[in-house]
């Protein structure tokens, strides 16, 4: 048993050393924040929340790309719920996107970057309210393409180490030929 533990320890040290040589080429991030509705949304939706995670790679210190998973949730406001005859309602969006990143100040302690991309968005609208025989639910869900664009700031000791970041992106989900949903997730997280 001691030999197994020793061998695992040595393997982890070598794996860590190999990963350290590649540090900076691959990125991982986790973040959370608030989501503000845009276009017709501010009249119908409250500011909500988001959580996201991504994995990516850098081509060089200026250019990279990542795949990101994100979940955004915004509640319908009271007047909209009253007009619709429901007591509760949410708009939830789960997305999987591909996002190129342009680092404008790659070697600075305060990094500035532009990010944007496209992907698949699962748009869900859930409503619930009282009925003649108790509560009833109404749900609408659709998978659509969407786009996003924005930017952010990174704070940390260098471009190759873990950094704290703050990011905002305008997002548009194409629901129908002339109907779209816009929102702006503002996220704060850690990237390493």
H/E segment holding residue 10: helix 2-21
In a domain, 5, yes or no: no
For residue 110, the domain's CATH number is 2.40.160.20
Phi, psi of 80 (to 5 degrees): -65, -45
Query: How many domains does one find in the chain?
Result: 1
Coil, strand or helix at 139: strand
Task: Supply 99's token pair.
Answer: 């996002």
Angle at the Cα of 25 (from 20 to 31), degrees rounded to 5? Answer: 95
In a domain, 139, yes or no: yes
Residue 161's domain spans which residues? 24-191
68-90 pLDDT, tens digit each: 999 999 999 988 888 888 888 99
Q: For strand 134-155 and strand 110-131, is the pairing parallel, antiparallel, or unpaired?
A: antiparallel
In a domain, 2, yes or no: no
Whether residue 44 contacts residue 80, with contact meaning beta carbons closer than 8 Å, is answered with: yes
Of 125-129, 144-148, 157-161, the range with the lowest mean pLDDT is: 157-161
Q: Give the per-residue pLDDT at 88.
A: 87
Q: In percent, how much of the chain has pLDDT > 70?
A: 82
Coil, strand or helix at 117: strand
pTM of the model: 0.81
Using alpha carbons, select from 89, 30, 86, 46 the residue that is nearest to residue 183.
Answer: 46
Using alpha carbons, select from 101, 125, 124, 130 the residue that is nearest to residue 113.
Answer: 101
In a domain, 19, yes or no: no
């Amino acid at each position: 048993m001691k030999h197994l533990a020793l061998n695992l320890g040595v393997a982890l040290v070598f794996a860590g050393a190999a990963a350290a040589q590649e540090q900076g080429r691959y990125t991982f991030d986790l973040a959370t924040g608030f989501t503000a509705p845009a276009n017709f949304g501010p009249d119908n939706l409250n500011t909500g929340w988001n959580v996201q995670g991504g994995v990516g790679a850098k081509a060089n210190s200026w250019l990279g790309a990542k795949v990101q998973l994100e979940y955004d949730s915004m509640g319908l406001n009271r007047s909209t719920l009253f007009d619709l005859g429901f007591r509760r309602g949410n708009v939830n969006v789960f997305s999987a996107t591909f996002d190129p990143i342009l680092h404008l100040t790659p070697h600075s302690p305060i990094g500035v970057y532009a990010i944007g991309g496209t992907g698949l968005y699962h748009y869900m609208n859930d409503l619930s309210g009282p009925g003649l025989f108790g509560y009833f639910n109404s749900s609408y869900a659709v998978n659509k393409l969407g786009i996003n664009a924005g930017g952010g700031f990174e704070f940390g000791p260098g471009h190759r180490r873990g950094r704290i970041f703050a990011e905002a992106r305008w997002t548009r989900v194409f629901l129908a030929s002339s109907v779209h949903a816009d929102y702006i997730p503002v996220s704060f997280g850690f990237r390493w």
